[in-house]
Chains A and B, each alone.
Chain A
């Protein structure tokens, strides 16, 4: 069994040698418990025939990197503004002749929620666009096709 030392908090434990000798398998084994070890710096040495593995968190860039931002954007789920959805639902009900005064009154809590959520989303989109607009331009590493 190999001894694993987590340098950030001084925790030590043992894992099987075959896992300890393989960076990829070691990271996969530890990441669920120590997410910051996903890109840790790994050093190995042998003492008295025992493998000792030290894992140190690699210093990353401060804040949110470009790749992080792209990942978040790629992973973001597509949504339609709830106010648009509610307005569309009401329009369809109108067209089908399914909307009357009583039904409209019953729908008021949903209408109000859609209106508030929709306005909130509009503000968030405006804030995001403002941030993107204010972002500093960065030179690309490669020349885009066509230039």
Chain B
């Protein structure tokens, strides 16, 4: 063998102990995902389990297959996770939990759905510029009258149980706007991401259940928004329910006159 070639051959194969530990760590995480593949998609896994791994790309191709199946059948894996897969950039360490509804505070509020705008007015987080819109004008007027009151979420939840569809989902909409539902897909944000959820069977099952619940919640919120948007007069029903859940603003939080 040519000495220069021999040196190059050996140099390519030399790795430091820390590099070896890191590479084994990557493989350990990859195997955790392969177990999910085996557990949740046994037929597809059976077809690929004999796939020979002769290069790193062979393993990554199998992992991409698994992630695509997970994204299709379990919960959405964001597209950006696949962009760099050839660069060994797959989400192997933790399950990526992408906020379903994004972050309303980073969007143009006037572009948000009317229900969101009405709720933001009612909680005093936004003052509409467009007072021509009956929904917003009505909401802004009553909010002025309720300056000394705040919403009691527990009371609203109890009242919503007795309300008719789709108004019964008003508390769900408020909690979703507040990222406080207890569902990671609805509560996560880019500012406060939910990280560290490993690829285990238990976590995947749990997130799948949460995903279905989050999808259902989004449908219910969309239904309430549609109902409100169809007839501006319906805001009075919403405000009637809202007003029953108001409570006196704690003195320490009273706004200066």
Listed in ascending order, the chain A residues whose CB lies under 8 Å from chain B are 81, 83-84, 86-88, 90-91, 94-95, 97, 99-102, 104-105, 108, 111-112, 114-115, 118-119, 121-122, 125
Chain A neighbourhood of B35, CB < 8 A: 105
Contacts A100-B52, A108-B31 aside, 15 further interface pairs with beta carbons under 8 A come to A81-B20, A87-B15, A87-B23, A87-B24, A94-B55, A95-B54, A100-B50, A101-B34, A101-B53, A102-B49, A105-B35, A112-B28, A114-B24, A115-B24, A118-B24
Determine chain B's interface SS by DSSP, over half rule.
helix
A-B CB pair tally, cutoff 8 Å: 76
A101-B50, A104-B59 known; A90+B27 contact, CB < 8 A: yes
Q: Which of A83, A97, A119, A121 is B54 in contact with, Cβ under 8 Å?
A: A97
Distance (Å) between the CB of A83 and the closest chain B CB?
4
Listed in ascending order, the chain B residues whose CB lies under 8 Å from chain A are 13, 15, 17-18, 20-21, 23-25, 27-28, 30-31, 34-35, 38, 45, 48-55, 59, 62
Chain B neighbourhood of A112, CB < 8 A: 24, 28
Cα distance A72–B121 when bound, in Å?
75
Distance (Å) between the CB of A124 and the closest chain B CB?
11
Q: Which of B15, B17, B49 is A100 in contact with, Cβ under 8 Å?
A: B49
Cα distance A104–B63 when bound, in Å?
13
Return 26 A-B CB contacts under 8 Å, by A number.
A81-B17, A81-B20, A83-B17, A83-B20, A86-B20, A86-B24, A90-B27, A97-B52, A100-B49, A101-B45, A101-B49, A101-B50, A101-B59, A104-B34, A104-B59, A105-B34, A105-B35, A108-B28, A108-B31, A111-B24, A111-B28, A111-B31, A112-B28, A118-B17, A121-B17, A122-B17
A90-B27, A104-B34, A111-B24 known; A84+B54 contact, CB < 8 A: no
- Say whether B24 contacts A104, CB under 8 Å: no
Distance (Å) between the CB of B158 and the closest chain A CB?
50
- Say whether A115 contacts B31, CB under 8 Å: no
Chain B neighbourhood of A84, CB < 8 A: 15, 17, 20
- Say whether B27 contacts A111, CB under 8 Å: yes
Chain B neighbourhood of A86, CB < 8 A: 20, 24
Cα distance A97–B49 when bound, in Å?
14
Cα distance A112–B24 when bound, in Å?
7
Q: Which of A88, A95, A122 is B21 in contact with, Cβ under 8 Å?
A: A122
Chain B neighbourhood of A99, CB < 8 A: 52-54
A101-B62, A105-B35, A112-B28 known; A94+B21 contact, CB < 8 A: no
Closest A residue to B16 using CB positions = A84
Cα distance A81–B38 when bound, in Å?
32
**Which one of B13, B17, B24 has the highest number of Cβ atoms from chain A below 10 Å of its Cβ?**
B24
Cα distance A112–B29 when bound, in Å?
10
